[in-house]
A and B are shown apart, each in its own frame.
Chain A
Amino acid sequence: EDQVTQSPEALRLQEGESSSLNCSYTVSGLRGLFWYRQDPGKGPEFLFTLYSAGEEKEKERLKATLTKKESFLHITAPKPEDSATYLCAVVNYGGSQGNLIFGKGTKLSVKP
């Protein structure tokens, strides 16, 4: 059964304190791994898509990496506005295009 596990569930950082969020996945055939950011009461906002092991993508203070079993979202020198829940999701080759399998997310709080 395809599964996505995110850790930690919650993370509290001081402004400027870099860290990483983990997304472990078990999927029959990975078509793509997605990172989203979600603010309270809003829909998930797309950040990155990764397709194959070794791939990396960056956007401002965020960098996503992918191995055969997990993905990391590295946050460098975070600011309070980076506070949000970060969601990881996968799509497998056997599933339909729109069937994203989500982890339960990591709630990030960045204190000034």
Chain B
Amino acid sequence: KAGVTQTPRYLIKTRGQQVTLSCSPISGHRSVSWYQQTPGQGLQFLFEYFSETQRNKGNFPGRFSGRQFSNSRSEMNVSTLELGDSALYLCASSKTADGYTFGSGTRLTVV
């Protein structure tokens, strides 16, 4: 059974650039949520998509956005990158509220 696939695994970007990260959920999972993980703040919720609609959004600036496609694959975009955006970005997919499976994440470094 294929797990949650995130691409790319590593990314280095320059301040001011924008970046797009991709997440392919487990087949049959319609909910995809995104998290930012940093050593200081831990895992923080960014947003959640279900059937191509954003259902909830965390407390992040508007530079962080996302979308979900009809096949449940999701992308998140960060515009005008700042040094503080350096983090591990994780996505999780679920079929119900009983279980959330995480991908291996994308390590973003902003220089």
By a beta-carbon cutoff of 8 Å, the part of chain A in contact with chain B is 31-32, 34, 36, 41-46, 49, 87, 89, 91, 95-105
Is B99's CB under 8 angstroms from A46's CB? yes
Is B32's CB under 8 angstroms from A98's CB?
yes
> How big is the B interface, by class?
20 to 34
Bound Cα distance A25, B8 (Å): 34
Count of inter-chain pairs, beta carbons less than 8 A: 72
Give min CB distance, B17 to chain A, whole Å: 23
Residue B90 at the A interface, CB < 8 A?
yes
Chain B residue with Cβ nearest A42: B104
- Pick the contact of A87 from B32, B43, B55, B103 — CB < 8 Å? B43
- Provide the residues of chain A in CB contact with B4, threshold 8 Å: 43
CB B25 to nearest CB in A, in angstroms, measures 11
Question: Is A95 a contact partner of B56 (Cβ separation < 8 A)?
Answer: yes
Q: Known contacts A31-B97, A41-B107, A43-B90; is A97 also within 8 Å of B31 by CB?
A: yes
The reply to whether A34 and B100 form a contact with Cβ atoms under 8 Å apart is yes
B14 → A minimal CB distance (Å): 23
Identify the B interface with A (CB < 8 A).
4, 6, 31-33, 35, 42-45, 48-50, 55-56, 58, 88, 90, 92, 94, 96-105, 107
Q: B104 touches which one: A32, A43, A96, A105 (CB < 8 A)?
A: A43
Q: Known contacts A32-B97, A91-B97; decide if A44 and B31 are in contact (CB<8 Å).
A: no
With beta carbons under 8 angstroms apart, the residue of A34, A41, A46, A96 that contacts B55 is A96
Report the bound CA distance from A32 to B98 in whole Å: 7
Chain A residues in 8 Å Cβ range of B48: 96-99
**Are B42 and A98 in contact (CB-based, < 8 A)?**
no
B33: which A residues are within 8 A, CB to CB? 98-100
Please indicate the chain A residues that have their CB under 8 angstroms from the CB of B43 in the complex.
44, 87, 89, 100, 102
